[in-house]
Amino acid sequence: MSSTYGKLFKISTFGESHGQAVGVVVDGCPAGIPFDSEFIQSELDRRKPGQSRITTQRREADEFQVVSGVFEGKTTGTPIAMLVWNGDQRSKDYSHIAQQFRPSHADFTYQAKYGVRDYRGGGRSSARETVARVAAGALAKLVLKNIGIDIKAYVSQVGKLKLEKSYQELNLALAEENAVRCPDPALAQEMFDYIDETRKKGDSIGGIVDCVVTGTPVGLGEPVFDKLHAELGKAMLSINAVKGFEYGSGFAGVEMYGSEHNDEFFIEDEQVKTKSNHSGGIQGGISNGADIYFRTAFKPVATIMQDQASVDQEGNTVTVSGKGRHDPCVVPRAVPIVEAMAALVLVDFYLRNRATQGLAYEQEEKLEF
């Protein structure tokens, strides 16, 4: 089972939903980065359960501990291990599905592949694993902050409720002022009510998280197989419940003529820029300096509080009853996860450029190791 991501800034996550703890080892973080514990904890707080009645009511403080790799407030260049203890497990909530396969879960595929599975909350397949990603992503954000790269994600759709405005028309800071994390306050309230009604019916609903990356230097990404957008897609699709990814004009671009879709170049302040940005800040798999923007689609949560037909490990037809504590819609808590995975991709490519090409970006002068 591969639990490692990255080439130079490499993370390895571990732990299960109802195990003792979840955690991450980060290898390749540069030495001398100020280790802002309060910021990392604030990122974990954005992801943690129990934030409102439209999220799972599992109560976890998600307070992290640093085990290694930090000395006198700075990274040492050695592996950094971060640990979060699980506290509010109710494993008995899952005893009824010990031999049953929940529809659209990883129960069947894990059993078929490994011959054994941890049925308590899904074990390793649970979104509880993303705690480790957010901790590592927060560290990646601290590195990126020094070179002027900023990442902001927000909820743009829940079910059929869509945010029609582009990110340029929005104040993205407003996303953190409501439980849904939508930067349009009126629509956010509609989304909240919709999710709450869905919860009361014992059902679930999906949604979309948009993400915008600003301040990216030209040149991140590798031609052919390690294209920047390909890695962003892989990172997003590795998140639990993700079913789709598009960047730039995405699927809407197929309705445009090339004459409409092409981003024409011009010179401003002695820099090459584009008049439009249908490319989403990436051309030929390499960042061009414009804003990178992409969308990630999340399916409705598979566990619902309704009876569903299924089979068990013996091949018998069974009825699976929904129990436990689950999000009726994952997108509000997925926002920091999307940001974290984007940060891990970008910091890895930045360090790869420094290691293999020695590119001298203007932003590099801001990086104080």
Residues in binding site for FMN = 124-126, 240-241, 284, 299-303, 325
Name the binding residues for NADP(+): 47, 53
Q: How many residues in the chain?
A: 369
The binding site consists of: 47, 53, 124-126, 240-241, 284, 299-303, 325
- Bridge partners (DSSP) of residue 5 are 11
Residue 179: phi, psi to the nearest 5? -70, -25
Spatial separation of the C-alpha atoms in residues 5 and 85, rounded to whole Å:
22
